[in-house]
């Protein structure tokens, strides 16, 4: 076992020793990917089982119970038949829609046993793990979707058409380990892996599928069991969160009775990192991380860092931090990308658009306000992933059955800052069987005809083309030119490139918009949507847009797209956090030719570059936030902030006994950037105190590093109380996945 001590009474977990893992996954060369997903992209979210059945032979794989398969689209609790081949078959449909990235269900093996919910009257509901959120074996595919060779064929086929691949990845939990409908009786939650050879390496056949090397009749070998004797300590096993709304409850208790991983164990962190890197080597372009709200951020930061440090360079990361205003965890939500390097699905955008365009509980001024406050709250608002509905919420048409309102919301998502994500079937006006999230997960194969002439389909196509052509949508700042209760006119601008969007949400009233000041050149600008939403042209003269009328539910998109010339300009960067030796990509214009990229004053090695992008290696430079610039021909670009980490990240668990006043919380600050370089404002994660005055927090720290630190108290107004005495000292583990569990300290008043 790696260097680790248990948290004792605070968490009550312990690991059971296991054979050493000798994985070579991190050494595998990644297949060529297309690069990170950026604001130029349009993502299409596919629940693989619910899209299209391209191969009926895998509908009920050998050994899989027929009771968990439906196939008609009627019982949405069961598998329906969608698979990797189905995605391949529909690539032309995706391409014609302007889709440049797909986010698919977790591709690896899930629990395949029926999930039984016992009902009060004695009946039973049977569920399956079609959604991919019940991890069982990270090293083989879900057989309902196809084998590994088919997965790789799908990735290659999508890449050949310029479509990037993001996989759902679940590192928070396995499957349900206790059945809450049967007195919390033991259920599953078990984790398996393939057979290993004498050197401890997994064994796969020529098609990438596990081999039954030990001839025991299965390729699944039990590695951890929350209800058994094999590594039960890999799971917290504290019980379901229920009504516990504390940060501790969210991070350490079970989500829906799903077996919650002990991310504070080095064995668990290493196993999950290796599993994610295994899939990176298949050539994928990014990860959607499930349940980031429920994860230990110290683990999440090291997890992302390990993935991006592996062969293939930095990829896209975004996660499900399912929260929004006025929830008290909004502060955690908006700071999660800063703390971990994993961006958010923009639930605040979803909440606002739902209220403004969906149920009408807020007006268009609220949307205008949203763009302004998130520009302050989000460090990189153009990297958030926006959506109007997805698999965890009701279909938009269940909130507002008017398809024209959906078109308005869709146009806003496609032109707003961030990366738009389209939930499969939205372009076909799918509204689901009911208003639940599961009711919205229809089988598109049987529910639609994949019509390429719907208005929504063509709105996506037209605005995807604009996103790729005009960098104002991908990288631009947002300015509100005008708003009232029903109307919003906004500008997206990147240097001289500009897109103006004018929307009237009302189906009852038209509006006259007054003349508006603008930097657009004189001329006439036509609606990019070709009047699909009743848009018209505008005229600009002497720095003013002439007043215009907005009809019922009218949307206009006007574009000005001049060349920005050869001088370098930065619009985005993936990733925005990493350490020396990581390969990261810059995006913008004028990045071709003989360029010099600097992190602060230190020059980086340029691996490759063209007019719109440059991939570079992070140089050896003092850790902390560094401004990245590109110079060419004596001209230096604008700056882009990058957080340089001190080294590979592992964890240290700080514990302190501290009495606090109402509203006070405990934090730690110290002499390294990961601890804020003594700046209390950079201490963003408060300690947990499930046991009165006993506070603890796992913190992401650089490996093999000695540093000084102190505990502080902060109240809700930001007032800081430092503990007295000399600085404390600590040294981190030498292992990349090591964990130092410190003895409890006492706050010095």
Please state, in angstroms and as integers, the Cα–Cα distance from residue 661 to each residue in 713, 715, 723, 747, following that order. 9, 8, 14, 13
Sheet hosting strand 516-517, strand order edge to edge: 516-517, 544-545, 538-541, 523-525
Residue 725's pLDDT band (cuts 50, 70, 90): very high
pLDDT given at position 180: 97
pLDDT given at position 13: 39
Residue 419 structure tokens? 């990366």
Kindly state the average pLDDT of the residues 473-481.
98
Does pLDDT of 19 surpass 70?
no
Cβ 614 vs Cβ 605: under 8 Å: no
Output phi, psi for 157, to 5 deg.
Answer: -65, -40
Q: Scanning the structure block, which residue is given the tokens 């720290």?
A: 701
Strands 624-632 and 577-578: unpaired
Please state, in angstroms and as integers, the Cα–Cα distance from residue 501 to each residue in 422, 487, 510, following that order. 19, 11, 16
pLDDT given at position 324: 81
Output phi, psi for 58, to 5 deg.
Answer: -100, 10
Q: Tens digits of per-residue pLDDT, 368-426?
A: 999 999 999 999 999 999 999 999 999 999 999 999 999 999 999 999 999 999 999 99
- Distance (Å, rounded) from C-alpha 113 to C-alpha 136? 11
Cβ 655 vs Cβ 744: under 8 Å: yes
pTM of the model: 0.95
- Distance (Å, rounded) from C-alpha 280 to C-alpha 307? 8
Does pLDDT of 34 surpass 90?
yes
Nearest-CA neighbor of 740 among 709, 701, 711, 691?
Answer: 701
**H or E element, residue 459:** helix 455-469
Output phi, psi for 301, to 5 deg.
Answer: -65, -45
Q: Tens digits of per-residue pLDDT, 122-159?
A: 999 999 999 999 999 999 999 999 999 999 999 999 99
Catalytic residues: 290, 320
Report how far apart the first and last C-alpha atoms of the chain are (Å, whole number): 37
- Distance (Å, rounded) from C-alpha 692 to C-alpha 658? 9
Does pLDDT of 14 surpass 70?
no
Does pLDDT of 18 surpass 70?
no
Rg (CA), the chain: 26
Task: Give the whole-number percent of the chain exceeding pLDDT 90.
Answer: 94
Nearest-CA neighbor of 712 among 695, 730, 698, 729?
Answer: 695
Q: Is the peptide bond before 684 cis (omega within 30 degrees of 0)?
A: no
Output phi, psi for 210, to 5 deg.
Answer: -60, 150
For 642, how many CA atoms within 13 A lie in the half-sphere containing its CB? 37
């Amino acid at each position: 076992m790696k260097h680790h001590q248990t948290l004792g009474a605070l968490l009550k977990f312990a690991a059971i020793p296991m054979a050493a893992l000798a994985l070579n996954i991190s050494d595998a060369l990644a297949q060529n990917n297309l690069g990170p997903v950026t604001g130029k992209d349009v993502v299409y979210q596919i629940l693989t089982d619910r899209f299209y059945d391209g191969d009926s032979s895998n509908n009920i794989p050998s050994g899989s119970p027929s009771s968990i398969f439906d196939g008609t689209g009627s019982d949405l609790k069961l598998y329906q038949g969608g698979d990797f081949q189905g995605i391949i078959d529909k690539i032309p449909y995706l391409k014609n829609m302007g889709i440049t990235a797909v986010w698919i269900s977790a591709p690896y093996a899930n629990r395949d046993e029926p999930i039984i919910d016992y009902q009060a009257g004695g009946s039973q509901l049977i569920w399956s793990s079609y959604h991919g959120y019940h991890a069982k074996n990270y090293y083989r595919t879900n057989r309902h979707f196809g084998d590994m060779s088919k997965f790789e064929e799908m990735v290659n086929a999508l890449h050949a058409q310029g479509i990037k691949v993001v996989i759902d990845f679940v590192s928070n939990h396995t499957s349900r380990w206790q059945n809450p409908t049967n007195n919390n009786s033991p259920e599953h939650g078990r984790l398996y892996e393939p057979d290993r050879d004498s050197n401890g390496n997994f064994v796969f056949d020529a098609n990438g599928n596990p081999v039954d090397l030990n001839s025991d009749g299965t390729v699944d070998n039990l590695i951890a069991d929350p209800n058994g004797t094999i590594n039960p300590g890999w799971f917290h096993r504290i019980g379901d969160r229920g009504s516990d709304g504390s940060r501790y409850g969210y991070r350490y208790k079970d989500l829906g009775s799903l077996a919650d991983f002990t991310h504070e164990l080095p064995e668990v962190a290493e196993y999950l990192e290796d599993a994610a890197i295994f899939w990176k080597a298949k050539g994928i372009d990014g990860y959607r991380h499930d349940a980031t709200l429920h994860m230990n951020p110290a683990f999440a930061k090291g997890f992302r860092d390990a993935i991006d440090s592996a062969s293939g360079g930095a990829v896209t990361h975004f996660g499900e931090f399912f929260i929004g205003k006025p929830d008290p965890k909004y502060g955690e939500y908006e700071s999660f990308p800063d703390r971990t390097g994993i961006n958010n699905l923009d639930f605040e955008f979803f909440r606002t658009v739902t209220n403004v365009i969906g149920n009408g509980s807020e007006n268009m001024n609220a949307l205008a306000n949203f763009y302004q406050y998130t520009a302050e709250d989000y460090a990189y608002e153009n990297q958030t992933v926006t959506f109007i509905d997805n698999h965890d919420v009701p279909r938009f048409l269940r909130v507002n059955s008017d398809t024209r309102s959906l078109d308005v919301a869709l146009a806003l998502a496609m032109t707003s800052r961030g990366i738009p994500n389209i939930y499969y079937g939205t372009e076909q006006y799918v509204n689901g069987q009911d208003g639940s999230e599961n009711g919205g997960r229809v089988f598109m194969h049987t529910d639609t005809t994949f019509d390429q002439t719907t208005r929504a389909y063509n709105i996506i196509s037209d605005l995807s083309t604009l996103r790729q052509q005009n960098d104002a949508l991908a990288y631009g700042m947002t300015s509100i030119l005008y708003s009232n209760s029903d109307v919003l006119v906004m500008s997206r601008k990147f240097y001289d490139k500009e897109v103006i969007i004018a929307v009237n949400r009302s189906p009852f009233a038209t509006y006259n918009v007054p003349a508006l000041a603008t930097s657009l050149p004189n001329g006439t600008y036509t609606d990019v949507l070709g009047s699909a939403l009743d848009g018209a042209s505008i005229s600009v003269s002497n720095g003013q847009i002439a007043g215009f009328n907005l009809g019922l539910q009218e949307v206009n998109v006007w574009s000005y797209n001049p060349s920005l010339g050869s001088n370098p300009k930065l619009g985005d960067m993936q990733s925005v956090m990493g350490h020396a030796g990581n390969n990261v990509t810059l995006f913008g214009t004028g990045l071709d030719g003989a360029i010099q990229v600097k992190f602060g004053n230190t020059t980086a090695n340029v691996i490759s570059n063209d007019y719109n992008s440059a991939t570079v290696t992070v140089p050896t430079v003092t850790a902390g936030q560094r401004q990245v610039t590109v110079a060419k021909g004596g001209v230096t670009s604008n700056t882009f902030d990058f957080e340089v980490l001190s080294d590979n990240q592992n964890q240290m668990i700080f514990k302190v006994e501290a009495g606090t006043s109402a509203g006070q919380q405990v934090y730690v600050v110290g002499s390294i950037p990961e601890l804020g370089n003594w700046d209390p404002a950079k201490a963003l994660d408060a300690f947990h105190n499930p046991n009165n005055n006993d506070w603890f927090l796992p913190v992401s720290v650089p490996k093999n590093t000695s540093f000084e630190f102190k505990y502080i108290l902060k109240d809700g107004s930001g007032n800081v109380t430092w503990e007295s005495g000399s600085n404390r000292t600590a040294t981190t583990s030498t292992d990349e996945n090591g964990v130092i569990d410190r003895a409890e300290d006492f706050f010095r008043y």
